[in-house]
Amino acid sequence: MTIQNRRERERAERHQLIIDAARELAEAEGWDAVTTRRLAEKVEYSQPVLYSHFKGKDAIVRAVAIEGCGVLARQLRQARSAQGKSRLRAAAEAYLEFAETRPALYDAMFVQQVDIPFGTDDVPQELRDAFGELVAAVEPVVGERDLETLTEVFWSAMHGIATLTHGKRLRPDHHEARLELVLGALSLAEQKNGL
């Protein structure tokens, strides 16, 4: 079975190679530049090889997106142990920095409608992890509010700021002021509720 093993291993490596190439190409030149021809050229195989690994281009983007969720989850986790600031602020800053420094990756994850299963279906673990980190960040300020709902609102606010900023819809300076304001709103409301 060693031969079979070797083949499977090589196949898995190439699978990852394709995902990495797609992400690199997208991050370097945007998703418009990620065509099956260019991607095939980058991995030094012909186009049909891509289709022996993925059902189509969408599936490749989806794979990149899911990996991206893992990256985001790790960065949020890392931010959790930051000193000198609240968990909510640390998570917010980490989230927005991720969206800003890796816009193509963020785009695949949350902007393009790649319909990754989010509902009751088997949600990828990476997504669970990322959302879990958001929940953990929100928990200290939840007060009497519903934790998951508050997390969704927090996420929505972060996502809105991230995408509108990227689309140049918000004043570039004032980024800090917006962050201050949204954190204040969510936290102060908690204090009020807690009375």
Partner DNA sequence: TCGGATGTCTAGCGGTGCTAGATTCCGTGG
Partner DNA sequence: CCACGGAATCTAGCACCGCTAGACATCCGA
Pair of tokens at residue 107: 């785009």
Q: Which of 29, 56, 164, 194 binds a second copy (CB under 8 A)?
A: 164
Smallest distance, DNA to C-beta of residue 48, A = 4
Distance CA 185, CA 119 (A): 29
Nearest to 64 by CA among 78, 53, 75: 53
- Least distance from DNA to the Cβ atom of residue 194, Å: 52
7 binds a second copy (CB under 8 A): no
123 near a second copy, judged by CB under 8 A: no
Residue whose C-alpha is closest to residue 95's, from 61, 138, 125? 138
Q: How many CB atoms lie within 10 A of CB 1?
A: 6
Q: Which of 46, 156 has the CB closer to a second copy? A: 156
Q: Does 145 bind a second copy (CB under 8 A)?
A: yes
Candidates 33-41, 43-51, 69-77, 143-151: pick the segment binding a second copy (CB under 8 A): 143-151
Q: Which two tokens stand for residue 187?
A: 């936290």
Cβ-based nearer residue to a second copy, 43 or 111 = 111
Two tokens at 89? Answer: 């602020």
79's tokens:
């931010």
49 within 8 A of 109, measured Cβ to Cβ: no
Which of 12, 28, 33, 177 is the binder for a second copy (CB under 8 A)? 177
Query: Cα dist. 42→47, 74, 115, 150 in Å?
Result: 11, 28, 26, 43
Between CA 171 and CA 99 the distance in angstroms is 17
Q: Closest separation between CB of residue 187 and a second copy, Å?
A: 8
The CA R_g of the chain, rounded to the nearest whole Å, is 20
Judged by the rule CB under 7 A, the positions of this chain that interact with DNA are 3, 7, 11, 34-38, 45-49, 51-52, 56-58
Q: For residues 35 and 149, which CB has a smaller minimum distance to DNA in the complex?
A: 35
- Given a second copy, DNA, none, residue 37, with its beta carbon under 5 to 8 Å by kind, binds DNA
Where on the chain is the footprint of a second copy (CB under 8 A)?
110-111, 113, 115, 118-119, 145-146, 148-150, 152-153, 155-161, 163-164, 166-171, 174, 177-178, 181-182, 184-186, 188-189, 191-193
